């Protein structure tokens, strides 16, 4: 059986997060940073799920190893789900957090506080070589504030308010965020299904 899994990212923070999870499963975590060749997958799907599946499948076929890929972003109800898959480049290709936040506030300037509901969404896709891609989805519900609050985190965190804590994501400690974020929820869903997925994969190889 496989002893390692590749994470489709060059983000060391993400790698560390997944390493903590997969260590408990007896798997060594590697990432795109460990590959000699550079693999660039064009994320041209219409949904988070399509993008995550494409990344996992494409990279797994190239390196012939189990691969986990994720795609995530912000969905605002009053904007029909925007910025969605374009969350990182909402205000332009430069992926500028401050510009993205300013655009979001501009788009919502005439929307009342109670109508500013939103969700952070994270889809994890796992592809075993020769197998089908399996996915789980995590989410974190909140509301978009009228102005940025807090200095931690990144992206839309200063605008994403959590009513149950009376804080924005950017006002949480890393430990607090890691317990309730959309990625944390996706990992909870993954944990519920992982052993079954591995069992199914083993059966296929028999």
Annotated binding-site positions = 9-14, 71-72, 154-157, 177, 182-183
Rg (C-alpha) for the chain, rounded Å, is: 18
Q: Which residues lie below 8 Å from residue 28, measured CB to CB, with a gap of 6+?
A: 3, 4, 5, 22
Report how far residue 126's alpha carbon sits from residue 1's, in angstroms, rounded to the nearest whole number. Answer: 16
Name the catalytic one among 34, 71, 77, 195.
Answer: 71
- Whether 71 sits among the annotated catalytic residues: the reply is yes
Give the Cα-Cα-Cα angle 191, 133, 76 (nearest 5 degrees): 75
d(CA 181, CA 159): 14
* Binding residue ranges for Mg(2+): 71
Binding-site residues for substrate sit at: 9-14, 72, 154-157, 177, 182-183
Please give the Cα distance from 18 to 6 (Å, whole number). Answer: 10
Token couple for 106:
């501009």
Active site residues per annotation: 71
């Amino acid at each position: 059986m496989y002893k390692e899994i590749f994470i489709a990212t060059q983000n060391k923070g993400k790698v560390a997060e997944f390493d903590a999870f997969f260590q408990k499963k007896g798997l060594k975590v590697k990432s795109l940073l460990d590959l000699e060749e550079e693999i660039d997958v064009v994320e041209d799907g219409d949904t988070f799920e399509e993008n995550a599946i494409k990344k996992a499948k494409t990279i797994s076929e190239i390196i012939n190893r189990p691969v986990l890929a994720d795609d995530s972003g912000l969905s605002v109800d009053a904007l029909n789900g925007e910025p969605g898959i374009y969350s990182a480049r909402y205000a332009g290709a430069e992926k500028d957090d401050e510009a993205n936040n300013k655009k979001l506030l501009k788009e919502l300037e005439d929307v009342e506080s109670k109508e500013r509901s939103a969700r952070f969404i994270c889809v994890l896709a796992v592809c075993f070589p020769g197998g089908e891609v399996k996915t789980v989805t995590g989410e974190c519900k909140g509301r978009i504030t009228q102005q940025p609050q807090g200095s931690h985190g990144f992206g839309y965190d200063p605008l994403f308010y959590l009513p149950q804590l009376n804080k924005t994501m950017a006002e949480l400690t890393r430990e607090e965020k890691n317990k309730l974020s959309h990625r944390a929820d996706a990992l909870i869903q993954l944990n519920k299904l992982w052993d079954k997925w591995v069992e199914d994969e083993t059966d296929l190889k028999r």
